[in-house]
Amino acid sequence: MKHMQTGGFQSHPLMRLTLLWSLLFLAGLWITNAAMYFSRMGLTPSSVRSYYLGSAEEFSQPRSFASLLEVSHNHLPIMGIVLLMLTHLMIFSPFSDRTKRTFISLSFLSALVHEASGWLVRFVDGRFAFLKIAGFLAFQASLAFLILTLALFLARGSESTRRAGSSRQV
């Protein structure tokens, strides 16, 4: 914890290595999340409704309660853990406390909206399709921001470490 509070993890080689590999996997999560979304639907309410409510034109059935339950059972803990890790690291970034609180809340809220809106489209009203699109875009933007922020934070630490190392050698 000391390394996180003082920023020492930026210069600790093993912590940097672990975080950099984690960023690689999280970037893959971001890419595959978008790929999966766009393989099933688009950014139009009609495509979202077709996916969740079924489509006679595409010969597709509505999503079942069991399939949505299975997806939520897998998504909810993963989203929570990923956001816990990324927002926890953001706490030690140079943003103001107000910005951190706002962004942490928006990140978790976007994930919740992204997940819950499919249920709303399927079992409440197809007009919630816009909420699915907004939740997806907000969640993707949140993940991208958190991943890029951490990458930049690590890169700055790497530059500082190189400068400090070269000044010691002189």
**Domain residue ranges of the chain, discontinuous segments joined by +:** 33-169
pLDDT band at residue 2 using 50, 70 and 90 as cut-offs = low
- The whole-number pLDDT of residue 170 equals 45
Q: How far does Cα 23 stand from its chain's mean position? A: 11
Which phi and psi (to 5°) does residue 64 adopt? -85, 160
**Which residue in 148, 136, 120, 111 sits closest to 44, CA to CA?**
136
User: In the block, which residue shows the tokens 């958190």?
Assistant: 146
Residue 118: CB partners within 8 Å, gap ≥ 6? 52, 63, 68, 71, 132
What b/e readout covers 100-116, taking b as 16+ CB neighbours within 10 angstroms?
beebbeebbebbebbbb
pTM above 0.75, yes or no: yes
Q: Is the pLDDT of residue 10 over 70?
A: no
- The whole-number pLDDT of residue 14 equals 85
Mean pLDDT of 5-28: 78
Structure tokens at 93: 């970034």
